[in-house]
Amino acid sequence: MFALASPSPQHARAPYAALNAAFVAGAVIPVGDTPEGITLTPDGARAYVANRGSNTVSVIDTATNTVIDTIATGAGPTDVAISPDGTRAYVAVFDDGLVSVFDLASNTLVTDIPVGAGATMAAVTPDGTRVYVTRQTTDTVSVIDTATNTVTDTVTVGTGPTGVVITPDGTRAYVASFSGSVSAIDTATNTVIATILAGDVPILLAVSSDGTRVYVTNAGSSSVSVIDTATNTTTDNIGVSAQPRFPALSPDGAHLYVPNSEPDTVSVIDTATRTVVENISAGDGPTGFAVFPDGTRAYVGNVNAGTVEVMATTVIPDQGPMAGGTTVTLTGHHLANATAVHFGTAQAVITANTATSVTVTSPAGAGVVPVTVTTAGGTGTLGSFYYMPTPALTGISPDAGPVSGSDQEIVITGRNLAGAIDVYFGTTRAVIQSVSNTQVTVRAAPAPAPGAVAVTVITSGGSADGPFYTYVGQSTITDVSPSAGPTTGGTGVTITGTGLAYTEQVTFNGTPAPFAVISDTTVTAVSPPSATEGTFDVTVTTPGGSSSGSFTYVFPPGV
């Protein structure tokens, strides 16, 4: 795992990542069907995983990364909350409307507490006396007294409450609701004292160890809102990738991890700069996330795969440009008074150092290199660093869309695109749906105005521009000439208007017609045959929408 140098007279210990870290990083642990919430015991010895699809909770021994017990629950367990002393687990059972209480010494059921329909997430107060449970289908939060295991209060919040966290001092509970708001509850009175606007469809939360900030994942806007708890206002919105789920903070609060279930990545946010510094590949549908108490690894639940994988977090970010200059945090043990950090053979610049972390600036390099830390106790390997080449873009399809944005998937092609962090269409951020080394699939957000804009992809290796994407406004039709013709079709028609340059289809009464784009104001078409006489719509469809004029079909003269 690491090379030992000669010990000092004081028997200083060599730095290392974590006990068994060389063996656990990258491990994939099969659990039940549709694993959602993951919670670690306070000592980190076990992880409890709520398997919604199989009505079980898997118990993982984190020393061996094996499932040592499977606990049967009611229908639809979604989350596990553990008491501060590590003796009790409170499992929210959605379909049965229960909170099931388990003794963690024996992993046996103590009691089922009926809370009502849609029990979704649970959080235990720091003193262990109460549990707050969101009820998604009733827009309420149930408050449980843990001494009596009974519901003692109900608090009405926003529509579709899902996530809940409690501040470290126990004075407030924060609840994220689908309606777009976060409710701040005074736990002394169990009343809502503030309703805070977040992003689109806020669902899950994390609270900083000092209680000053709450982080909220927004499934609709693919972002993380930052709430200042002193003012109960949103102070920032950080873009991540599609369908963000359970956020989790590193023990030192320096990084926020956000699993993105659509592109199968985990975004790593630097909480000081409030920027995404890395997207780490994960399994199929990463949803639940829990960081080990020493910060050296994390447990990621893959909802579509039915697995929990172990992700090393000893080198964050673990990739950067070949030119160097990346701020990297190394997490481990016995790191105090580090004298040198090397990325391969190149020495990094140390900018901060404690017993459990070292912050450095990466040197220039190439390929995959080991990261080592040297102290008086010796030299230890904490992980690897990946030097990423500069990306390049070669194309985009489609290359135009409505100025209002679109759910249509847009494929950007190129090379060295793996781990893409952000995509911009001009100044508008697009939402990443999937990533490979040769393409990034995104959905375009609304733009300030119509027009062509440069496409930029940002990766850990740098940024690349190339193709253009055109935001198209709503087209108009001002004239169709001639405005009439025989039902046999074949009439050449000139359509005039605005915003016609990106015409995709012309129809006469719903029947596609051959057409040619002459300019942004002119399209020509040939009328198709019609079975009936009458005046019908002539519709031009563009990425910006559809607009219509009219054309009259007339039966030709006959005997």
The pLDDT assigned to 12 comes to 67
Cα–Cα distances in angstroms (integers) from residue 258 to residues 72, 274, 306, 446, in the given order: 29, 13, 19, 24
Q: What is the DSSP string of 49-111?
A: EEETTTTEEEEEETTTTEEEEEEE-SS-EEEEEE-TTSSEEEEEETTTTEEEEEETTTTEEEE
Contact 239, 429 (CB under 8 A): yes
The pLDDT assigned to 17 comes to 67
The pLDDT assigned to 14 comes to 81
**Fold for the domain defined by 392-472:** Immunoglobulin-like (2.60.40)
Instruction: Report strand pairing: 319-321 vs 378-388.
Output: parallel
Gap between the Cα atoms of 356 and 336, Å rounded:
7
Residue burial 517-549, b: 16+ Cβ < 10 Å; e: rest: beeeeebebbbbebeeeeebbbbbbbbbbebeb
Structure tokens, 549: 């004029």
Q: What pLDDT, in 10s, does the model give residues 143-161?
A: 999 999 999 999 999 999 9
Residue located via tokens 């977090």: 313
| Tens digit of pLDDT at every position of the chain (559 positions) | 223 222 333 346 788 765 443 345 679 999 999 999 999 999 999 999 999 999 999 999 999 999 999 999 999 999 999 999 999 999 999 999 999 999 999 999 999 999 999 999 999 999 999 999 999 999 999 999 999 999 999 999 999 999 999 999 999 999 999 999 999 999 999 999 999 999 999 999 999 999 999 999 999 999 999 999 999 999 999 999 999 999 999 999 999 999 999 999 999 999 999 999 999 999 999 999 999 999 999 999 999 999 999 999 999 999 999 999 999 999 999 999 999 999 999 999 999 999 999 999 999 999 999 999 999 999 999 999 999 999 999 999 999 999 988 888 999 999 999 999 999 999 999 999 999 999 999 998 889 999 999 999 999 999 999 899 999 999 999 999 999 999 999 999 999 999 999 999 999 999 999 999 999 999 999 999 999 999 999 999 999 889 999 999 999 987 6
Element (H, E) at 402: strand 400-402
Gap between the Cα atoms of 207 and 182, Å rounded:
13
The pLDDT assigned to 3 comes to 31
The pLDDT assigned to 406 comes to 83
The pLDDT assigned to 7 comes to 30
CATH superfamily of 24-312: YVTN repeat-like/Quinoprotein amine dehydrogenase (2.130.10.10)
CA angle at residue 158 from 152 to 160, to 5 degrees?
Answer: 90
The architecture (CATH level 2) of 476-554 comes to: Sandwich (2.60)
Q: What pLDDT, in 10s, does the model give residues 254-301?
A: 999 999 999 999 999 999 999 999 999 999 999 999 999 999 999 999
Torsion of CA 275, 281, 285, 287, to 10 degrees: -50
SS3 track for 128-159: CCEEEEEECCCCEEEEEECCCCEEEEEEECCC
Residue 56, strand partner residues: 51, 72
Q: What is the CATH number of domain 314-388?
A: 2.60.40.10
Gap between the Cα atoms of 87 and 231, Å rounded:
35
For 489, other C-beta atoms within 10 Å of its C-beta total 15
Contact 13, 299 (CB under 8 A): no
Contacts of 412-416 with CB under 8 Å at 24 or more apart are 412/439, 412/440, 412/441, 412/442, 412/455, 412/457, 412/467, 413/438, 413/439, 414/438, 414/439, 414/440, 414/457, 414/464, 414/466, 415/391, 416/388, 416/389, 416/390, 416/391, 416/392, 416/459, 416/461
Q: Where do you find CATH 2.130.10.10 in the chain?
A: 24-312
The pLDDT assigned to 18 comes to 54
The pLDDT assigned to 22 comes to 37
DSSP 16: B
Q: Where do you find CATH 2.60.40.10 in the chain?
A: 314-388, 392-472, 476-554
For 46, other C-beta atoms within 10 Å of its C-beta total 20
Gap between the Cα atoms of 411 and 402, Å rounded:
16
